[in-house]
Amino acid sequence: MMNDIVLYIGIAAAVLGVGFFIWSRISTGKTLDRVEELIDKAIEGDTFQESFSEERTSRLETKLTEYLRASGVSALNVKNERDKIKTLIADISHQTKTPIANLVLHGELLKESDLNPEQEECVDAVLRESDKLRFLIDALVKLSRLENGILSLNPAKESVSSIVTEVASEMRGKADKKGLYIKTDLPEEDIKASFDRKWTTEALINIVDNAVKYTQSGGITLGIKNYEMFACITIKDTGIGISEEDIPKIFGRFNRLESSRNEEGVGIGLYLAREIVKLEGGYMKVSSKLGEGSEFAVFLKKE
């Protein structure tokens, strides 16, 4: 008799255990389904208008809903702020083009007039500062678009020799005016790397322009080195060079070294170049000695 009672109790306990297990699985499954549903709604941008009971699982759903709602509001605020910045940048770019163009036009018209030496000097200063202002605004607009994620880079696998040849050709006229050479030292092999052609060209031109600016004799040589994971573009000049302690400073925003104060510039070209290369997954290195020239190395990812 006692054995039968124990057997019945055992069977009842087993049934209860199985029942609890099944209920727990169903309850957990419903909770997970509910959580998944809430996350799907958040991804789709739906608003949450739900009623919950006071059960613990329901309280968890409520907290998750509040979190997702707050995250959605934050994401929307970020998007709105980004749209405002985008509009502001577009307005600045558009509204400043005409006044600067008029300054340059009237300055050039004045330059063609019969001016005395003092007046010619003033006109040259107006043209020079107008050109600097135009470059500064263009650089700031580009930089702001990159930093705020408004403009994204689209790397594609392209010939490194091709972009080096293009940059050298574009900068040769400016070098000729200073009596400098620009030459290329390219490998026979057509090395390819992954980069955004438009923006990488912008970065390289900023570096070469800097080299031309601070080189008084000799010239600039553009080369390519091939590594396993990177293609390296080198820009070597015979300019004034950079002291070892000043090398970390040259990529600072609006940072200009004492040795470069007499040269035209706003101190943003190298910073912009580094940001572009960094966004492509690459990096830059500099080696230089004061009075012996500098070499900039731009590493572009192959994949």
Please report, for the domain that includes residue 175, its CATH number. Answer: 3.30.565.10
Question: Do the domain assignments include residue 275?
Answer: yes
Contact 234, 194 (CB under 8 A): no
Question: Do the domain assignments include residue 286?
Answer: yes
Q: Is 144 exposed, middle or buried (0-12, 13-18, 19+ CB in 10 A)?
A: middle
The amino acid sitting at 130 is S
Question: Do the domain assignments include residue 107?
Answer: no
Question: Do the domain assignments include residue 196?
Answer: yes
Separation between Cα atoms, residue 236 and residue 295, nearest integer Å: 4
Question: Do the domain assignments include residue 130?
Answer: no
**H or E segment and range at residue 76:** helix 56-111
Question: Do the domain assignments include residue 293?
Answer: yes
Question: Do the domain assignments include residue 257?
Answer: yes
Task: Please list the pLDDT of the chain residue by residue as tens digits (303 residues).
Answer: 555 554 445 555 555 555 555 555 555 666 666 666 666 665 555 544 454 444 545 566 566 666 666 665 565 665 666 666 667 666 676 677 788 788 888 888 888 888 888 888 888 888 888 887 887 777 777 777 776 666 678 889 999 999 999 999 999 999 999 999 999 999 888 899 999 999 999 899 999 998 998 899 999 999 999 999 999 999 999 998 888 888 878 877 666 655 555 555 556 788 888 988 998 899 999 998 888 899 999 999 997
The pTM (predicted TM-score) of the whole model is 0.61
**H or E segment and range at residue 223:** strand 219-226
Question: Do the domain assignments include residue 197?
Answer: yes
| Angle of CA points 292, 294, 298, to nearest 5° | 165
Which domain, by its residues, includes 207?
156-301
Separation between Cα atoms, residue 33 and residue 228, nearest integer Å: 48
- Number of domains into which the chain is organized: 1
- Alpha-carbon distances, residue 62 vs 46, 47, 52 (angstroms): 15, 13, 7
Tokens representing residue 300 in the block: 């572009």
Q: Give the residue among 155, 298, 290, 300 at the shortest CA–CA distance from 222.
A: 298
